Amino acid sequence: MSSRPAPDDVEIDGRRLPLHGSYDERFRPVVDAFVENYRVEDELGSAVNVVIDGETVVDLWGGWVDPERTREWEHDTLVGMMSVAKGITAIAFNMLLDRGIVELDAPVARYWPEFAANGKADLPVRYLLDHRAGLPALFPDKLWPGAMYDREAMVAALAAQAPLWEPGTVAAYHVHTQGYLLGEVMRRTTGKLVGPFVREEIAGPLGADYWIGLPAAEHHRVTPLIPSAGPKLLDAQNSEAEDSLRVLAFAQNPPGTWGEMVNSPEFRSMEMPSGSGHGNARSVARIYGALAAGEVDGVRLLSEQALDTMTTMQHDMIELLQERHYRQGLGVLLNSPDAVYMGPHPEAFGHHGIGGSIGFADRAERLGFGYSVNKMHAVGTNGPRARRLIDAVFEVL
């Protein structure tokens, strides 16, 4: 690889853009796309990373961590990447399937007996992974505002909850609840929560700076998230009836604004494997790059058969919570161009986060991609900024 440093003479509206990192000279279009995001989109701070065959070909970071533009995004800046965590959690859970610790079509209640309550005795593990369990919200027995910080209370309530419809018949994005559900099965079968499992079995071996449950000693590296009210999930909290599915899904959030919640020490430290993951483009591309190439530096996360199973489409429908069309794998999304764009190949897989961050793998190109951002966009898809970068990568390939 012929590596070049990121240009240091870029100006946006007469002001120098902090831009750092390096890139293989073939991938100069990705650098240009990264800069273009600052020219034409509402970009504040971000990073992009591309790994091919285990080798990093793009590693860029730039912009600022604060709206006043007084502090630059650093090499090791972390950000809440939101539902990117669902993809990382899916990888961890599929490792349990790969090892025979959990069986995909076994009843959840085999591993978590209390879960059998209220007609869930036969509900299979598969439906926890593909959002067909019928448990996207707690209803009618809602918990108190702020209960999402109490993992044990959430787990107990989900065990007691009746499905909102017949499991397996409808897909509805389990925006918060999926993490608690998968996490409890993991705890019952391995003795570990998802966060420690990811550190010990995925991030640690790969040297990836990704965390579910960020230690307080690392909080100083986190750039605040600047939310937008545009995405349907967030806008619903102010515009829809209190018994709408979208409002119910957020009923256990703490009082205050969504921005206050996601930037709080409690959120950064909590174990909510469906949304509280903190990392950056480099860490997520490294993880997905290991899957795309089979292994990296001798670290293999999943067998080829397990990868095939994880990326087999479970359903292809519009899910109810966000009314978006997802091609759903086992915890990961398959390339869904009208909702979550991952390039030209339909078999690409990964997960986005609300606001713009994304990580995915393309096994055809042996490629891992990561993009992390702090100023969230106002659209429900993974948005024009990620698309511009992804298109630039595949323009080269």
Tens of pLDDT, residue by residue over 43-70, are 999 999 999 999 999 999 999 999 999 9
Q: Which residues contact 20 (CB under 8 A, 6 or more apart)?
A: 6, 60, 61, 62, 75
Which pLDDT belongs to residue 58?
Answer: 98
Compute the 3-state secondary structure of the chain and give helix, strand, coil in percent, each to the nearest 5.
Answer: 35, 20, 45
Q: Tell me, what's the pLDDT at 232? A: 57
Contact between residue 372 and residue 79 where contact means Cβ atoms under 8 Å apart: yes
Those residues whose C-beta lies under 8 Å from the C-beta of residue 236, and which sit 6 or more positions away, are 244, 246, 247, 250
Backbone phi, then psi, for 362, in 5-degree steps? -125, 100
pLDDT tens, position by position, 89-123: 999 999 999 999 999 999 999 999 999 999 999 99
Note the pTM of the prediction, 2 decimals: 0.97
Q: What are the structure tokens assigned to 2, written together? A: 């012929």
Q: How far apart are CA 44 and CA 311, in angstroms?
A: 33
- Residues whose CB falls within 8 Å of the CB of residue 100, separated by 6 or more in sequence, listed in order: none
How does DSSP assign 229-284, residue by residue? S-SHHHHHHHHS-TTSHHHHHTTTSPSS-HHHHHTSHHHHHS--TTT-EEE-HHHH
Architecture of the domain whose range is 1-397: 3-Layer(aba) Sandwich (3.40)
User: What separation in angstroms does the CA of 115 have from each of 121, 149, 157, 223?
Assistant: 7, 20, 10, 38
Strand pairing class (358-362; 11-12): unpaired
Cβ within 8 Å of residue 40, ≥6 positions away: none
Residues of the chain with pLDDT under 70: 1, 229-238
Residues 344 and 296: their CA atoms lie apart, in Å, by 24
Give the span between the Cα atoms of 229 and 233, in whole angstroms: 9
> Coil, strand, or helix at residue 10?
coil
Q: How far is CA 187 from CA 145, 262, 291, in A?
A: 25, 25, 24
Break the chain into its structural domains and give their ranges. 1-397
Sign of CA dihedral 104, 106, 108, 113: negative
Q: From residue 316, how far is each of 132, 211, 325, 333 by CA, in Å?
A: 12, 30, 7, 10
Cα(87)–Cα(351) distance, integer angstroms: 5
Q: What is the pLDDT of residue 258?
A: 86
By the 8 A CB rule, do 322 and 338 touch? no
With contact defined as beta carbons under 8 Å apart, do 341 and 387 qualify?
Answer: yes
